[in-house]
Amino acid sequence: MLIKNACIENVETLNDIRIEDGIFKEIGKVIEKPDEDVIDLKGKLLLPPFIESHVHLDTCLTAGDPVWNMSGTLFEGIECWSKRKEKLNREDIRERVNRVVRMYAANGIQFIRTHVDITDPSLTAMKALLELKEELKDVMEIQIVAFPQEGILSYPNGKQLMIDAVEMGADVVGAIPHFEFTREYSVESLDFALKLAADKNKLVDVHCDEIDDEASRGLETVATRALELGLYDKVTASHTTAMHSYNNAYVLRLMRLLKMSRINFVANPLVNTHLQGRIDTYPKRRGVTRVKELLAEGINVSFGHDDIYDPWYPMGNGSLRDVVFLGLHVCQMMGYEEIMNSYKLISHNAAKTLHICDHYGIEVSKPASFIVLDADNYYDALIKDAVVLYSYRNGRKIAENTPSERKVLF
Ligand code: FE2
């Protein structure tokens, strides 16, 4: 198959791509062969597939069931979820995750890192997600984080549940230091999680300091252990919203450690602008970590959706465009280059976090996985909220959308 006249990753000069046996064979000016299937993109934007680097698939599509989160806080969300967990079962999870994965696929996402709540003695969600990961692998690569929603030390048998989840096949070890009962538990939970990951050769993704408390400093422990254990970029700190409230003198000192540790960050602008600042009067904090400053220091940051219609977020549609759009606003990253390159927050940067760069990207000899947007470049795509015209995975089309037609009658 030959893809002609593609605007690849915003490059103005149009190029062609030949795909054979599900692999990118040639990229550049390619001579058409007789009888070859040809798609002429006429200058449309071609990107590597989008990547969801932070979501909770097990909780998606449960908002209001059995109760709504009325305060809009993270902590009431955890209480609501705790009630919903009581009626969790395999079929319930399978039905919701299958729906959400298709929402994501329609929006050009082909890779998902999902956190899965393991503070459940039966590990129902973990078992269901491991099944779904295998069943859906041809259309969606799913990476599973064993996520201790109610704590590792602050939940009965929390350490053993984490060990069990890793033994069952979780790809990533999680933690939630700001939810542990004490600062000592917080540090011990991180010591445990990162040591376990090092021993079992797993990645790490910590829900880290997702709170407006400027004294919440799990991040320095995560970064220090990543450095000391040699885990480096295998470690990710998600949310880190307390960093928004740290004093600048502390951040100046912290930034040196963060660079030395080489850890990744994931910010979730939709959900954290909604959850954070809830007990502020005015001014109300924006609640998103220091994305612009981290990127300026050469630290890897990606954006995630986090929640789709669940106790922590009553909206969401599986489109990372909205995540990027809002994130650029609240992080004040509205310069021309920042807007044009912002697709990297949900593509290349996320690929580094997921450690999938060996099979990701528009490069000869890599799997022919890509998306085409109804836009001239990514700036144009953001402004127009452009649809994903096609999503190809390993050379096979797995989703397509038709642009809606709008008529103005004057
Ligand atoms: Fe999260």
Kindly list the domain boundaries of the chain, sorted by start residue. Answer: 2-48+362-400, 50-359
Give the start-end residues of each E strand in 282-404. 301-303, 370-373, 388-393, 396-400
366 Cα to the center of ligand 1, angstroms? 31
- Assigned CATH for 50-359: 3.20.20.140
DSSP conformation class of 410: -
Ligand 1 centre and the CA of 405: distance in Å? 36
Neighbours of ion ligand 1 (CB under 5 A): 306
In sequence order, the 6+-apart residues with CB closer than 8 A to the CB of 210 are: 74, 176, 178, 238, 239, 240, 241, 242, 272, 275
Looking at domain 2-48+362-400, its CATH architecture is Roll (2.30)
pLDDT at position 24 is 98
Cα 31 to averaged position of ligand 1 atoms, centre (Å): 47
**Residue 247 and residue 249: Cα distance in Å, rounded?**
6
Residue 88: the pLDDT is 95
CA of 408 relative to ligand 1 center, distance in Å: 41
Q: Residue 396 has what pLDDT? A: 98
How do residues 229-270 score in pLDDT, each as one tens digit? Answer: 999 999 999 999 999 999 999 999 999 999 999 999 999 999
Calculate how far, in angstroms, residue 365's C-alpha sits from the geometric centre of ligand 1: 34
**212 neighbors 276 (Cβ within 8 angstroms):** yes
pLDDT at 360: 98
Please state, in angstroms and rounded to a whole number, the distance separating the CA atoms of residues 180 and 188: 10
Q: 5: CA distance to ligand 1 center in Å?
A: 39
What backbone torsions phi and psi does residue 359 show, to the nearest 5 degrees?
-130, 30
Q: Is the dihedral of CA 313, 330, 379, 358 positive or negative?
A: negative
Query: What integer pLDDT is reported at residue 374 of this predicted model?
Result: 98
pLDDT in tens, 331-368: 999 999 999 999 999 999 999 999 999 999 999 999 99
Structure confidence at residue 104 (pLDDT): 98
Compute the distance between CA of residue 34 and CA of residue 376 in angstroms, rounded to an integer: 29
Give the active site residues: 210
Q: What is the pLDDT of residue 263?
A: 98
Pick out the chain residues at pLDDT < 70.
none
Report how far ligand 1's centroid is from the alpha carbon of 207 (Å): 6
